[in-house]
Structures are given as C-alpha cells and as structure tokens.
Homo-oligomer: A and B are copies of this chain.
C-alpha cells in the first residue's frame, strides 16, 4: 500500500534536505547522489526493503549496499528517518566530523544498517554479490523459513566502470543470483564531466551479455520506479534497474552537472533548492508529518520479523543457525587431534599441500567454511572432499569457481563474511594479491573473517619467473592494519595458522604458502605459532646470533644454525609465522626472544625470500637482513634460491663477517 504521491514526495525531499544541509554544514561531501536518488531510495525503503529498524541484526533482513558510498548522506538520512537508533539528528549534524558515526563514507563498524564499508568504487556491488551468494547458500542449507531475502544495491557510473564491477556481474550472472537487484543511478555524470567524456559503453547490453535482467525507469516517477522494482524482483536473473535521474535534483541552478557531485551546494543554492522543493523548514528540521510517515514506514517490517522469529523458534531448535550467524566455531577436538598427529610425524610437504590437508579436516568440521579459487584450484589446493561446487543448480555447494577474477573473489568473500553464516576462504597466487589488494584492505577495515589463501609465495615457485614471483608482497601485506599475515614453515605451522585465522573473527588473514616441499621443523609445543614468533631452537654454544625466519626460510635458518654451532657459535632460531601476532605480545615475551643487548653481543639476522625493508624493526642497527631486494628470475626454484644467496653456504659467511667485522 503506497502513500499518496505528494506525501511520498515530501519524504523524499526530507532526504534531499538532510543531505544538502549536512554537506553544507560540513562544508564537505557529495550532495548530488543523495538528491538524485532520493525518490528511488524512498520507494525502496518504504515499500520494498525488508528490514526492522528496531532489530538491525535480524538475520533474514534484506541487505542494502550503497556501493556509491560517497553518497553516504543518503543512507544516513534513511536510517535516521526510518527509526534506527542511530544516527541521531545530532550525529547527522556532525556529518564528517570526528566522532560522528556519519563518516564521509559509510562504515559498517560505525552504524547498524550499514551493511558494508563502501566508497572504493565497484566494491560495494561486488560485496553485494557475495551477500547474495551467502543468502542462496544458507537458503539451500536452512530453507525458506529461515533464509529468504534480497540484496539491494545503489551504484553509480563509477561503480559500473570499474573492472571489479565486471568481474562481479560476470560471477552474479553465472550464478543466477536472481535476488540481487542493482539500482543504477543513471545520471550521465562523472566527476570529470559527462559520462561520454570517458565511456561509450552500452551499459544495458553489457549487463545482458553477463546474463542479467535489465530494465529502466524514470528515477523521479514513483509509479515508474515501482514498476521497475516489481519487474526486477520478479525476474529470476540478477537485475539492473537503470534509474534515469538528475544528479543533485532539486538544486535548480546546479542539478544535472558534475558541480553537484562532490561539493557543497553553497548557501545560495541551498536556499534556492529549498524554494524549488517547497521545503520551508530550517536546516535539519524534519516536519512532524513527514517524520511520522517515515517512522510509520520503518515499522512496516515488524510483522515479517515477528513471523520470522516464530519460524526460527520452530526450525532452529538447536540454535545451530543462530550460532552460525553469530560466527561461532564448533569444538575443535578433531583438529587438535590431527595437529597432535602431525606433530608426531615428519612430513615433507609444500605448505600449500599442508593447507589442503588442514582444510580437509576443517571443512569437514565447520560447515560455515565456503572455499574457492580464482581459477587456480589445483595450484592453491583449496578444494576438499567436503566442498562440492557452488553453482546455480547447487547452491548448497561450498566451493566457488570464481573464475579469473581475483578482485571480484576477494570482495565477494568480504560480502559473504559481512552477511554472516559463512566463513569464506579463497585462493590465488600471492603475486595476485596485488590484483585484489584493496579488497583485502577493506576486509581489514571492515573487521571481517575473510581468509585469503595465497600460494606460490616466493622465488621458490621457480620457472614462472618475476611476473609471478612475489618479492614485496608478504611485507606489503604486513603493512595493512588489522590484517594477520601468516607465512608458516611446515605442516605443523600451517595447521596452527589456519586455526588462528579462524579464531580471529574481526581480523582477516592472508596465509602465504609455498609451491615447493618443505621439511617439518617442529615436533612439539603445539600452537606455538599463536604468539606470532617463538624460539624454535635455542643456542647450544654461547649465544652470539639470533636467526629469524619465516616460511620456507625457517629450515634454512636451522641449517645456518647447525653450521654456526659447529663452529662454536651459539645461534637461536626464531620462527616468525605472524609478525602481527608477535607485535601483540607483551614486552617480557618479546625481550625473551629478542633481548635488548648491543649488536656486538648478539647479532640479529633475518632471512626471508622477499624485500628486507621492514625487517630492521627486529634486526636493529648493524643487524643482517638476508632477502631479495629486486625482482626474481625464471629458473627452477632450487636454483633460484642458490642464485640469490638463500643457502647456508652463502649466508653463514655473511654472518661470520658481521661477527668479526
């Protein structure tokens, strides 16, 4: 049942007014999009979106993603008007000010109802694809009574032009995600000017080619909007709704130009817009009738929510679904048993293979784990017996063939994690973390448990050469805040790192794994990786050297220590599978591993087959950093290690030089 048009128009104009007023007050922000899409968003939020502002964590709510995140005042207005506890009007007044949850771009960790952190263009839509995948998967597992909702996206031309968008829509079309609907703010304007400055693409034909349903509407005609949304909702394919809008609609002198995209309207134009819109209210004032219409609309989902709760009580008697949505892990006894077994063994395996062995256990234990690879399944070793293919015909599958779409994969993983109920992991070569780096960053910023499986982690991959050999990638991932970067040394550490990755629900993980086989380096001290770094072997002779290494260089550090000890030089070996976790340890633990004595007394040496910048944090002045400060080369991996000096024969003399120097 829809309100009469003029009352709906007033509601939409409230969004416009709040948006332009907030941007004006901040003297910073993007009024064009919220004003342009106010009518579409008003119809969507008052008549279509399934949500309950009183219960923003309702598992079966529709997900709404503002992919064009710069238009953040749109969602802040909608959340406030429909009656979410936050943002308050004061918080909207403080738009873009320190401490306000109304940040420049919507941030999922600041406000309920903001389902994803958006702004980096294209990623909102790509995360929405992941949400829609999670929805279909959970629907397949738990059925319609528990999971049956839509994912709505508002996207702009910027989103649609980005490469990641094309990866995302290719995936969505292939997987026939019919419950995903994208509302395209088709306003013909980008920051630089008209879209035709940089694009001649037939967007509708493009989406059709990806298997989407496409329709369009006048984005300022409520009836037309309803018709298009109905059509989108009905079509079994994912839908693109081209909403023809005027950017900055309501600002009479600036609307329809790039001038309203990213700048405040200015006081004069705000006044003019008030006049144009017939909005005679003070800044930030929403008249009673309009607010009460909005709040009334906000209660629309209460009964659906209530009915869902009844169904949940009936269908989720064990609480399994609720636990899963809450991200809880099952008991890990099976895993602990396997770890004990591996500790007592002596397996030489590549850590990517070790990861597969671990994943066999974990995916059998944890139904929430949904894996995949960007077309490197056999190389990333990400598929297990428990994970059949997730396809349009088989949404209960737990393995996604993402195709050659690394960025799209990483963003979809984030979307699944944000949706809840799924713990996504996905593989590519470590070098191609470059292709999806900003999605890894957004996982960290959003505090979600995405687990990136990054194999072929050094020159050890061999013949594929420098285009494929990571040199700077491990260290560069370490620079991303709130990301745990693991580089395990053997099967045991690989198992430990996987467990740690699962146990940090608010921190994503990058697990860097070798192509080549590695000897086992430890047979006791289960979960020693948990402190990020630990003394793998203590010096026998008087300690003169501390060797630190990660991953495939740990056994090399042990070899160096053997040689040094043979010469009567005591050498500790520290394995550091996760620098970030080590940083979190207390000073006593750190000082035990790395005593604060002058380098003349104990020489610190790092060994890692990657760039050295960063290792000085631990090796200090006059330490020794063994690494690769250049691009690699094409040759068998063992020859490259030799060629680039990663042998005990090459390293030990350097250490001796330092000791004697």
- Give the B-binding residues of A (Cβ under 8 A): 26, 28-29, 69-70, 96-100, 103-105, 107, 117-121, 157-159, 161-167, 170-171, 173-174, 190-193, 197-203, 205-206, 208-211, 373, 375-379, 389, 401-408, 431-432, 434-435, 437-438, 441-442, 444-445, 462-468, 471-472, 475-476, 478-482, 596, 611, 613-614, 616-617, 620-621, 629-631, 633-636, 639-640, 643
Contact = CB atoms under 8 A, between A and B. Distances in A.
10 contacts: A96-B463, A96-B634, A96-B636, A98-B635, A98-B643, A99-B635, A103-B465, A192-B377, A193-B401, A434-B441
B29 A466 contact: no
Contacts of A208: 202, 205, 209
Nearest to A119: B467
Centre residue among A205, A375, A405, A614 by max chain B CB count within 10 A: A375
Centre residue among A98, A201, A404 by max chain B CB count within 10 A: A404
Contacts of A375: 158, 190-192, 198
State the oligomeric state as a number of copies: 2
A402 B192 CA distance: 10
B199 A119 contact: no
Contact of A104 (B173, B472, B634): B634
Given A197-B401, A614-B613, A481 B476 contact: no
6 A-B pairs with the lowest CB-CB distances in the bound complex, closest first:
A163-B163, A198-B403, A103-B634, A166-B166, A98-B635, A472-B479
Given A70-B464, A107-B465, A174-B200, 13 more contacts: A28-B463, A96-B463, A98-B636, A104-B464, A105-B465, A107-B634, A120-B432, A158-B375, A163-B405, A166-B167, A201-B209, A205-B209, A437-B437
A245 to B, nearest CB: 18
Contacts of A442: 467
Contact of A167 (B103, B162, B173, B621): B162
A373 B70 CA distance: 19
A610 to B, nearest CB: 9
B69 A467 contact: yes
Contacts of A613: 475, 478-479, 614, 617
Given A164-B163, A379-B191, A432-B120, A479 B611 contact: yes
B445 A631 contact: yes
A131 B381 CA distance: 37
A155 to B, nearest CB: 11
Nearest to A210: B201
Contacts of A171: 198
A208 B200 CA distance: 11
A371 B118 CA distance: 29
A438 B445 contact: no
A585 B87 CA distance: 54
B198 A119 contact: no
Contacts of A120: 431-432, 434-435, 467-468
A87 to B, nearest CB: 13
Nearest to A202: B209
Contacts of A475: 479, 613
B198 A174 contact: yes
Contacts of A620: 616, 620-621
Contacts of A445: 466-467, 631
A198 B403 CA distance: 5
B199 A161 contact: no
Centre residue among A28, A198, A210 by max chain B CB count within 10 A: A198
Given A617-B613, A629-B481, A634-B103, A173 B200 contact: yes
Contacts of A465: 96, 103-105, 107, 119
A105 B634 contact: yes
A633 B103 contact: yes
Nearest to A126: B163
B103 A481 contact: no
A68 to B, nearest CB: 11
Nearest to A405: B161
A376 B191 contact: yes
B633 A98 contact: yes
A117 B431 CA distance: 15
A631 B209 contact: no
Contacts of A376: 191-192
Contacts of A100: 634
A467 B118 contact: yes
A80 B41 CA distance: 62
B105 A467 contact: yes
B166 A163 contact: yes
A404 B174 contact: no
Given A98-B643, A210-B206, A378 B192 contact: yes
Contacts of A164: 163
Contacts of A103: 465-466, 633-634
A630 B121 CA distance: 22
Centre residue among A206, A481, A633, A634 by max chain B CB count within 10 A: A634
B161 A163 contact: no
A593 to B, nearest CB: 15
A75 B26 CA distance: 57
Contact of A97 (B191, B466, B635): B635
A190 B403 contact: yes
A636 B472 CA distance: 33
Given A29-B463, A190-B403, A200-B173, A640 B98 contact: yes
A378 B170 contact: no
A266 to B, nearest CB: 17
A389 B193 CA distance: 13
Contact of A161 (B167, B203, B431, B467): B167
